[in-house]
Chains A and B, each alone.
Chain A
Amino acid sequence: MAQITLENVTKTFGAVTAVDRVSLTIAEGELVALLGPSGCGKTTTLRLIAGLEIPDSGRIFIGDREVTRLPPRERDVAMVFQDYALYPHMNLMDNIGYPLKVRGVPREELRQRVQEVARRLQIGDLLDRRPSQISGGQQQRASVARAVVHEAQAFLFDEPLSNLDAKLRLEARAFLKHLQHTEGVTAAYVTHDQAEAMALADRIVVMNHGKIMQIGTPLDVYRNPQNTFVAAFIGNPPMNLLPCHLDMAQGVLVVAANQAPLDLGLLRERIRVALKDGDSLTLGVRPENITLGAEPGPAAIPGKIYVTQPLGGETLVNVEVGDQLVSVRIFTEELPPLPEQVWLTLDLARTFLYGPDGERIV
């Protein structure tokens, strides 16, 4: 296994910049998830690493070897495709053994190695079947088995679980994580499912419009979103983002939705950049960091209960603040009765402030 490094890599298709100055290092034995909305350039990044696309500029390294312009077969990476790309005219033995066959491994050794890997992935008794004769989950394993047999420097996964139903997906996720740990593989893993990224990855790369918005451990990305994009993308339900502006004279933030003043309090010390009166900012607070009460307070803004959604162990309350809906998450099984008019108290220690450009300032 080897580390993967991208240095300022850019790839355009006509007018579309699919990957925009991406720099990234995936350490040896690390699984990094590429996460982002559809069309943000995740697959293209992966294909650039695999050599299926050649970057317009920038450099790519696998181990300490520059591979920027090398064809795929000289890069020594294994890939698991979204549609698995198992060959319909070959049985699983030939499919999984294909990387060995093109390398000219003798038939007998090929059989042994395929059988060994297939047994480990629990598809050992399906080897004489064709892909159309096995289930989706088994196809997924076969596709992983083919990658494992290849014994490459790094693994690339392009949404390998998206074709599975919800239950199988959980199983396959656990299985992939286990495999990654036991084999200690370096892997780039594309997904648009944040739960999958959180569960699997050592680090998450959040992308948008071809750019990296943030790189960090799952917890880091969740706890410290660096910009409004990441804040709104990570979390379910996502972070509440309230446009507001600064009123220096009063020392308050005025929430745009209902003009409610909010005492800066704790936030004041945490602001590390110069701000002007009237700067339009965005306040970010997660649903679980808001409490609901009947009484006003300095860090509270008024709102009207819109709807409550009991979810078992917790309750999701949507509150109307001006014309904006704010979600509040309350971890009780039974919600105490609330008046229709409530006060939302923000936990200022866990509240974020984003500047006019969407970058975090608190």
Chain B
Amino acid sequence: MNRYESPLARVGIVLFTMLAASFFALPLLWLATAPFDARVNLTVHIPAELTLDNFRAVFQNSFAVRALLVNNLIIAGGAMLTVATVATLASYGLSRTRIPGRDILVYVLILFSSVVGGTAAMVPLFLLAYHLGLVDTHIGVILVMSGGLLPSAIFIMRDFVDTIPRSYEEAALVFGASPLHIFRDIAFPLVRPGVAVVAIWAFVNAWGAFLIPVVLLRSPHNMPASVALYSFYSEAGTPVHTLVAAYAFLYTIPVLVLYLIVNWRFGFRFFGGIKR
């Protein structure tokens, strides 16, 4: 910081920072207080009357509970497994083989990922899923989600795989290891932090997904939580703040827990890279 800055300027900077921070902090504060409040509006205040009634009411809604505890876990878990597995194997292959134009291929994939995962491709994706008989199945949602997430995941993973010296694998080869041995004993343990990053990233993305499930799923009992949130709206289409708050609170818990676990185990800050 500049030593010659006037105190006035400094006060200004601090005020501005506080304002900007509160802009982002207020919704989070609301999420932390509102679910336990008997009377909720869109302002943040310390609850006058602490209660767990909101949660009780949420658990009455079996459609929403099923969405959160079953459908969301299936979709996010499935996308996580698919993305982590495929990205690990693919990045390993991409990093270790000499294919002409390999790097261009990877960049083109990245480019396409925004298309596949995005709104623009929704119609063709729906038609594809329809013809494959995957409409209104979790598999369909998982595959489309994974397809959208994979290129970036492969890109991230390849950075990890590239840092493993080839001589590790070559030593294992010379000492008699099969490719499977090498992957299991050497490559995988060394890229595990990368796998964790990619897995969590995929999970979080799929956990919060709205558009793809809404387009590909039909029956209410298949819908994920992002859609089920709308069951806490009144018939007039206005949200019931108490219930929405409580449900949203439950909805964020797994993401928070995952973040904490990974942070504790591997020490990474989200999108802040890996501590080595």
The finding on whether chains A and B are genuine partners in a shared complex, rather than unrelated, reads: yes
A binding-site residues for B, Cβ under 8 Å: 50-52, 71-73, 75, 77-79, 81-83, 85, 87-89, 98-99, 101-103, 146, 150, 156
- In the complex the two chains form, is B168's CB within 8 Å of A87's CB? yes
Listed by A's residue number, 29 A-B pairs whose Cβ atoms lie within 8 Å are A51-B173, A52-B170, A52-B173, A72-B173, A72-B174, A73-B175, A75-B174, A77-B174, A79-B174, A81-B167, A81-B171, A82-B167, A83-B165, A83-B167, A85-B165, A85-B167, A85-B170, A87-B185, A87-B190, A88-B190, A98-B172, A98-B175, A98-B177, A102-B172, A102-B175, A102-B177, A102-B178, A150-B175, A156-B174
- In the complex the two chains form, is A73's CB within 8 Å of B186's CB? no
Which residues of chain A are near B170, meaning CB under 8 Å?
50, 52, 72, 79, 81, 85
Chain B, Cβ-Cβ closest to A82: B167
Give complex CA distance A85, B165 in Å. Answer: 8
Give complex CA distance A102, B175 in Å. Answer: 8
Give complex CA distance A84, B178 in Å. Answer: 20
Give complex CA distance A75, B173 in Å. Answer: 10
- With A87-B186, A88-B190 as given contacts, are A50 and B174 in contact (CB-CB < 8 Å)? yes
Q: Shortest CB–CB separation between residue B83 and chain A, in angstroms?
A: 24
**B176 in the interface (beta carbon within 8 A):** yes
B binding-site residues for A, Cβ under 8 Å: 165, 167-168, 170-178, 181, 185-186, 189-190
Give complex CA distance A78, B173 in Å. Answer: 10
- In the complex the two chains form, is B167's CB within 8 Å of A102's CB? no
- In the complex the two chains form, is B174's CB within 8 Å of A78's CB? yes
- In the complex the two chains form, is B171's CB within 8 Å of A79's CB? yes
- With A81-B167, A83-B167 as given contacts, are A89 and B189 in contact (CB-CB < 8 Å)? yes
Which residues of chain A are near B165, meaning CB under 8 Å?
83, 85
Which residues of chain B are near A78, meaning CB under 8 Å?
174-175
Give complex CA distance A146, B177 in Å. Answer: 14
Which residues of chain B are near A51, meaning CB under 8 Å?
173-174
Which residues of chain B are near A101, meaning CB under 8 Å?
185
Interface centre among B165, B167, B181 (most CB of A within 10 A): B167
Give complex CA distance A343, B170 in Å. Answer: 57
Give complex CA distance A154, B228 in Å. Answer: 67
Give complex CA distance A101, B181 in Å. Answer: 10
Which residues of chain B are near A103, meaning CB under 8 Å?
176
Q: Is the interface of B mostly helix, strand, loop or mixed?
A: helix
Chain B, Cβ-Cβ closest to A143: B171
Give complex CA distance A78, B176 in Å. Answer: 9
Give complex CA distance A165, B178 in Å. Answer: 35
Q: Shortest CB–CB separation between residue B146 and chain A, in angstroms?
A: 28
Chain B, Cβ-Cβ closest to A83: B167
- In the complex the two chains form, is A71's CB within 8 Å of B173's CB? yes
- In the complex the two chains form, is A102's CB within 8 Å of B176's CB? yes
Give complex CA distance A103, B178 in Å. Answer: 10
Give complex CA distance A242, B96 in Å. Answer: 49
Which residues of chain A are near B172, meaning CB under 8 Å?
98, 102
- With A83-B165, A88-B190, A98-B185 as given contacts, are A73 and B171 in contact (CB-CB < 8 Å)? no
Give complex CA distance A99, B176 in Å. Answer: 7
Give complex CA distance A89, B165 in Å. Answer: 13
Q: Shortest CB–CB separation between residue B185 and chain A, in angstroms?
A: 7
For the complex of A and B, 3 pairs with smallest distance between CB atoms:
A99-B175, A85-B171, A85-B167
Which residues of chain A are near B176, meaning CB under 8 Å?
73, 99, 102-103, 150
Chain A, Cβ-Cβ closest to B164: A88
Return the contact of A73 from the options B167, B168, B177 (Cβ within 8 A). Answer: B177
Given known contacts A87-B168, A98-B177, what 13 new A-B pairs fall within 8 Å (CB)?
A51-B173, A73-B173, A73-B175, A73-B177, A87-B190, A89-B189, A98-B172, A98-B175, A101-B185, A102-B181, A146-B175, A150-B176, A156-B174
Which residues of chain A are near B173, meaning CB under 8 Å?
51-52, 71-73
Chain A, Cβ-Cβ closest to B165: A83
Which residues of chain A are near B185, meaning CB under 8 Å?
87, 98, 101-102
Q: Shortest CB–CB separation between residue B259 and chain A, in angstroms?
A: 25
Give complex CA distance A77, B174 in Å. Answer: 7
Which residues of chain A are near B190, meaning CB under 8 Å?
87-89
Which residues of chain B are near A52, meaning CB under 8 Å?
170, 173-174
Which residues of chain B are near A71, meaning CB under 8 Å?
173
Which residues of chain A are near B168, meaning CB under 8 Å?
85, 87
